[in-house]
Amino acid sequence: MEQQRKFLQTESLPDNSAHLSRKEIGLFRNSPKQNICVQLLQDGDHRSFSELFHLLACDRRRREADPAVGLQTPPLEEQLDKLETMKLHLSRAERAERTGLWSSAYEQLLLLGRFFSSPEDVWLSLYFYRRCSDGERGFRPAVEAQVCLAEFHLEEGEVEQARQQAELSLQQVEDGWLDSDGRSLKLRTLRVLWRIYSRLADAPLAAGDHREALKLLHEGYRIATQTEDKQIEGEAAFKLGLTYQSAGEHDAAKQLFSSCMQIYGSLQDSDGLTKVYKAMARSLQSEGNINETVRCLEKLVDISRSDGLQHNLAESFLRLGDVYYSRCEYQRAAENFLQACEVYCNVGDEAQRQKAQGKVGMARAHCLIRKHIVHLQTAATTSEHQNLNCESADRT
Amino acid sequence: MGGKPKVSSKIIPLASPKGPEKLCELCQRVARLQCTECRATFYCDEEHQQADWVGIHRRICQLLVPIRTQTFLSLQRAGQIVTQQKKAELIEICRSVAQQKLSEGKHQEALPAAQFCLRCSIDVHGPNTVQLVPAYLLLAEANIGLGNVSRVAELLSQAEWSVLKSPDCGHAVHHRLHRSLGRLHMATGNLEQALLHFANDIYFASEAFGLDSTITCRGYFLMADAFAKQGKTPIVRSLYSEVTQIWHCHLTNLLENRIQNAQNPNVLLDSSYDNQSDKAQQVEVDDMLRTMLEFEQKDPRKDPAQVARVAHCLAMMWFLAGDSRKAQGFGSTALQAGQLIPNPDLTEPIQSLLQLVQSLQTEAHPSSDESQNSASA
């Protein structure tokens, strides 16, 4: 009996003995899934075990339902690194929960959400983000998870859900919080929210519902000003201005465009400036303020020239030319069109050059016709004078 | 309980037909007594005969006769097939008898049945095959109850060897083996090994029956016992709440089915709570739930929600088993604890259960109710 008891107790020999312990044999013989599960249970982390087991079952079901998924990647239960990571973080989270340290528990879940970044693991990432944000409110990792979810929904086009998540996050976020990359969480939330409002406004704009679009974009603009990101502020102002323009309220549009110009000017963003000037010119033109339009377009030409952006430059010349053409100042129009031609020639854009050439032709033609008419008129008057002189000469 | 066999007679060696020496049924020593009912079973002394009679022989006495006596027919191929079938039936009978006795806690009495089951299985399937594993496990369980640790270790290592030789035997077999091994190591005090085996037990049980099964649940409970001995109370608390959750769900479903069936008299009531095996399970579950209740009540950090849930489980179980008094008792404990926390999801089902119990009691004792009414009026 004593011998038997001793024999039984040799099962617990330390690992440096000559015998392999049962555990080591198990590591060799059993599947990675079994080893990890058994390890979790042995350490007392049974909820982590249940969760992991459940996720592996989900993975199996997904692969069965969609054979295409099954062929691309090996099953989750064979990917040891992912299993190990999940085991590590889930057990840490469980231990934190047991002792009541909720924040660090959520932290671990957030880490897991960020870990699964490859496209085939998106469902896992979402699962952990949801788990993280589903719990008690008000913890930093939970709010970060919500923001990540909002970003994901936005990218998938699920704008309403993104909006819900983002607004909730905004209510809960606190000023000093940083996200896992060290950036301000509040500003990130605001940025996401601006993008959501911008996207939400697209549908009413397309349908022509300016009131709705303006409401949304105003909200977006208000948020954008809080993001401390000038680029976004400029974008927001520009979009709002464009909406006012299409609604016909050019004063408001012009105001926004000028604040846009300031922002883009300070950012030295010539692309931004170019588009703002173009939009401003359009506004001015619709108002009928041609002088201002011309001035605006000339400024645009300057900018484009200084930046060496040839296409922009050529386009600005074309616009100027169009404005002069509409005012019947054909000479000036032709000059501008010719300059556009040259630029296109330099760039080598044959198609556009030919178009510009066409416009030059039209402008010159109008010019010539004018001259011809004038010439005819003067010719008529001179010949009249000549006739009169002849007549008077004959009389005398 | 077993009658004393009135039928034993001494073997007169010279009077028996020539053949190998007769061995005692239980201990395999030289036999001196013979059962006169079947004439095919032998014992070394009265004690063993009595034990065997009570244990299994009473049930299978007559069934052994065709198996143990050789006739011309039985030696032929067709006869042999029939014999094998009869042996298979015997195995099943022995198994169920042993199981029942074990669930009633009669470990010593279960031994003959379990031993015979094993012997028969070896006969039918051959030694070291995977079909022997249930028989090994049964015998091991009987011996654990008696504390014969070395015998248990021997049996379980045989079982383990059979399982290792046929790794495709299925998750359920693995789970049962590991559970028995875990219990063995708990008995010898080797907690680390016990935990390893219980962990494997839970893993295989989850694969075989699912995470929410009551079978897996028992594994959690056994594991909690090991952790309790190690002193890791938070883990124990966490495991107990998991067990409670699973049983709460299970019992609620059973209760709902019962209520629905009661409302629909056309449906035949399943007498699932009337068989022996379910009574045995009842005892086990009652034991388990009571342990958890005591643990919670002794815990300095009392969690009233947990107390309420465990007491509710006990109330539901006893209600389903038909014991209204106990159901009421546990139900009021549950309600008391539940009222300490404002959670209607917890207290409403308890209240409805108590109402149900009370309505059944008034149905059962209408006269007393009326007399009470007349007394009060």
ipTM at complex level: 0.82
CB contact under 8 A, B196 and A44: no
Which residues does residue B33 pair with via DSSP β-bridges, in sequence order?
B10, B43
pLDDT of B306 higher than 70:
yes
Exposed e or buried b for every residue in A262-288, given b needs 16+ CB within 10 A?
A: ebbeeeebbebbbbbbbbbbbbbbeee
pLDDT of A13 higher than 70:
no
pLDDT tens for A228-274 read 888 888 888 888 888 888 888 888 888 888 888 888 888 887 777 88
How confident is residue B2, by pLDDT bands cut at 50, 70 and 90? very low
Domain ranges of chain A: 22-83, 101-200, 288-364
Asked if the C-beta of A41 comes within 8 angstroms of chain B's C-beta atoms, the answer is yes
pLDDT of B1 higher than 60:
no
Q: What is the mean pLDDT of residues A346-350?
A: 80
* Residue at B295: amino acid letter: F
* pLDDT mean across residues, chain B: 82
In a domain, B34, yes or no: yes
pLDDT of A163 higher than 70:
yes
Tokens standing for residue B16: 């028996």
Q: Could you tell me the residue range of the domain that residue B52 belongs to? A: 11-74
Residues 6+ apart with CB under 8 A from B127: none
Asked if the C-beta of B239 comes within 8 angstroms of chain A's C-beta atoms, the answer is yes
**Which of these three, B74, B103, B119, is where a domain ends?**
B74
* Number of domains composing chain B: 2
Q: Which residues of A touch B196 (CB under 8 A)?
A: 22-23, 26, 38, 42
Q: Which residues of B touch A46 (CB under 8 A)?
A: 202, 220, 223, 238-239, 242
CB contact under 8 A, B202 and A46: yes
Q: How many Å lie between the alpha carbon of B238 and the closest alpha carbon of chain A?
A: 8
**pLDDT score at A9:** 56
Tokens standing for residue A60: 């199996």
Q: Which residue of B has its CA nearest to A14?
A: B192
Asked whether the beta carbons of B78 and B101 are under 8 A apart, the reply is: no
Q: What Å distances lie between residue B178 and B157, B159, B198, CA to CA?
A: 11, 10, 6
Residues 6+ apart with CB under 8 A from B170: B208
Asked if the C-beta of B249 comes within 8 angstroms of chain A's C-beta atoms, the answer is no
Q: Which residues of A touch B242 (CB under 8 A)?
A: 46-47, 50
How far apart CA B199 and CA B135 sit, in angstroms, is: 23
Instruction: Choose among A9, A34, A46: nearest Cβ to B190.
Output: A9
Q: How many Å lie between the alpha carbon of B184 and the closest alpha carbon of chain A?
A: 10
CATH code of A288-364, in short, is 1.25.40.10
**Which of these three, B74, B89, B106, is where a domain ends?**
B74
In a domain, B83, yes or no: no
Asked if the C-beta of A10 comes within 8 angstroms of chain B's C-beta atoms, the answer is no
**Lowest mean pLDDT across A3-7, A107-111, A240-244:** A3-7
* Residue at A304: amino acid letter: S
pLDDT tens for B29-81 read 888 888 887 777 888 888 888 888 888 888 888 888 877 777 777 777 887 88
Residues 6+ apart with CB under 8 A from A227: A187, A190, A191, A194, A233
pLDDT of A198 higher than 90:
no
Q: How many Å lie between the alpha carbon of A79 and the closest alpha carbon of chain B?
A: 19
pLDDT of B343 higher than 50:
yes
Asked if the C-beta of B200 comes within 8 angstroms of chain A's C-beta atoms, the answer is yes
Residues 6+ apart with CB under 8 A from B363: none
Using a pLDDT cut of 70, give the percent of chain A over it: 95
Instruction: Choose among B192, B193, B220: nearest Cβ to A46.
Output: B220
**pLDDT score at A164:** 87
**Which of these three, B74, B91, B113, is where a domain ends?**
B74
Instruction: Choose among B153, B206, B234: nearest Cβ to A8.
Output: B153
Interface of A with B in 74-113 (CB under 8 A): 98-99
Q: Which residues of B touch A49 (CB under 8 A)?
A: 202-203
Taking the whole predicted model, whether its pTM rises above 0.90 is answered as no
CB contact under 8 A, A46 and B234: no
Domains A101-200 and A288-364 share a fold: yes
In a domain, B293, yes or no: yes
In a domain, B357, yes or no: yes
Give the CATH fold of the A101-200 domain.
Answer: 1.25.40
Tokens standing for residue A156: 């998938």
Q: What Å distances lie between residue B29 and B10, B32, B44, CA to CA?
A: 15, 9, 7
Interface of B with A in 136-155 (CB under 8 A): 149-150, 153
Using a pLDDT cut of 90, give the percent of chain A over it: 11
Which ranges constitute the DSSP H helices of B231-323?
233-263, 276-298, 304-321
In a domain, B211, yes or no: no
